[in-house]
């Protein structure tokens, strides 16, 4: 099987946001190439040992490469990416935005993933590990999350995921009932359970995300009595109504939503009906330029904002009902 390879010329300032948006389009396999040197902290987290002379001087440029199934409508996908680049250019330096097309065999693509995806620490005791790797530097207190990047919808390395994990570590308790809206790869549900949550319900609108979550649940020994995943659009009244009825109006201790600001804003009007009194609403996926509109939406819907945390260009807002 062949894949269409798209390489986008951009800048280091935009690579993170562009990669995120490509994944939100359902594109699996996003690679970033730049010349930004790793910090000492990143070296420790990523289990790597790169010598300074292996990295060219940082010139502010970057290349973002993604892979698209040959069965997909390539011109349509390219047009969507070009439109997204134009949209992002309103507030980020996108560089030339030039898109170069190529092809690669499925075997090459998978091997590329395996070559670049190594175990890494999300924080002091949560480690993401590809299924084929052996973790050498394992600590007794480590929580290990197994991921196969050939099927995963996200590896957990993104700042927005890290921000959500920080919130989960602070607020998850032994009897926590967790709702993970826009679960992607199921990582937040899995981590919530490994932190001690009693049960998790994961939802997403993308069938690929549902499949990835089910696979990751199985890899990480998450059984049906521990967590379930549903394909449902919580923002759609009919779908949401059916979902609520299925669980007889169940409410949760924590709702976590690592989505985009444009979704979190309307979602904030629905979440109060999903949360128990004093329940916690953990949000991320918020680019810093959208921080104030999201805050306003959360406050308007009766929440008390407990924390606002930042990581690079991203924001996480934690609130209480």
The enclosing domain of 53 has a CATH number of 3.30.70.120
Same domain, 10 and 49: yes
Return the pLDDT at 207: 83
CA–CA distance, 304 with 298 (Å, rounded to integer): 8
Same domain, 96 and 180: no
Range of the domain at 11: 2-116
Same domain, 198 and 299: yes
Residue that is written with structure tokens 């004093």 in the block: 278
Give mean pLDDT, residues 222-242. Answer: 92
Return the pLDDT at 71: 81
Same domain, 71 and 134: no
CA–CA distance, 315 with 261 (Å, rounded to integer): 10
Task: Please check the confidence at residue 52 and state whether its pLDDT lies above 80.
Answer: no
Beta bridge partners of 177: 199
Burial of 157 (C-beta count, 10 Å sphere; 0-12/13-18/19+): middle
CA–CA distance, 30 with 23 (Å, rounded to integer): 7
Same domain, 185 and 287: yes
Q: Could you count the other beta carbons within 10 Å of the beta carbon of residue 17?
A: 19
Same domain, 17 and 146: no
How many domains does one find in the chain?
A: 2
Domain boundary among 116, 141, 175: 116
Residue among 18, 20, 25 nearest 205 (CA): 25
Task: Please check the confidence at residue 156 and state whether its pLDDT lies above 70.
Answer: no
Same domain, 30 and 171: no
Lowest mean pLDDT among 31-40, 128-137, 280-289: 31-40
Same domain, 153 and 290: yes
């Amino acid at each position: 099987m062949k894949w269409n390879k798209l390489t986008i010329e951009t800048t280091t300032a935009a690579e993170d946001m562009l990669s995120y948006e490509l994944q939100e389009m359902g594109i699996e396999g996003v690679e970033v190439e730049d010349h930004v040197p790793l910090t000492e902290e990143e070296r420790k987290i990523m289990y790597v040992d790169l010598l300074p002379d292996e990295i060219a001087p940082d010139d502010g440029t970057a290349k973002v490469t993604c892979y698209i199934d040959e069965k997909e409508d390539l011109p349509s996908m390219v047009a969507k990416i070009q439109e997204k680049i134009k949209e992002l250019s309103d507030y980020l330096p996108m560089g030339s935005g030039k898109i170069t097309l190529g092809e690669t065999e499925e075997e090459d693509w998978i091997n590329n993933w395996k070559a670049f995806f190594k175990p890494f620490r999300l924080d002091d005791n949560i480690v993401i590990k590809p299924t084929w790797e052996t973790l050498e530097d394992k600590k007794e207190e480590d929580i290990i999350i197994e991921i196969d990047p050939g099927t995963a919808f996200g590896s957990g390395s993104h700042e927005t995921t890290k921000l959500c994990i920080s919130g989960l570590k602070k607020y998850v308790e032994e009897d926590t009932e967790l709702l993970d809206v826009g679960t992607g790869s199921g990582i937040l549900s899995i981590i919530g359970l490994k932190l001690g949550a009693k049960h998790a319900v994961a939802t997403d609108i993308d069938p690929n995300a549902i499949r990835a979550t089910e696979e990751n649940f199985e890899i990480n020994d998450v059984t049906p009595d521990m967590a379930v995943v549903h394909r449902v659009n919580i923002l759609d009244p009919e779908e949401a109504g059916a979902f609520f009825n299925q669980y007889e109006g169940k409410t949760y201790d924590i709702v976590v939503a690592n989505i985009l600001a444009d979704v979190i804003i309307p979602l904030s009007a629905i979440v109060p009906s999903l949360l128990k009194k004093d329940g916690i609403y953990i949000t991320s996926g918020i680019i810093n330029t959208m921080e104030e509109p999201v805050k306003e939406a959360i406050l308007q819907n009766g929440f008390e904002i407990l924390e606002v945390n930042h990581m690079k260009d991203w924001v996480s807002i934690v609130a209480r009902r």
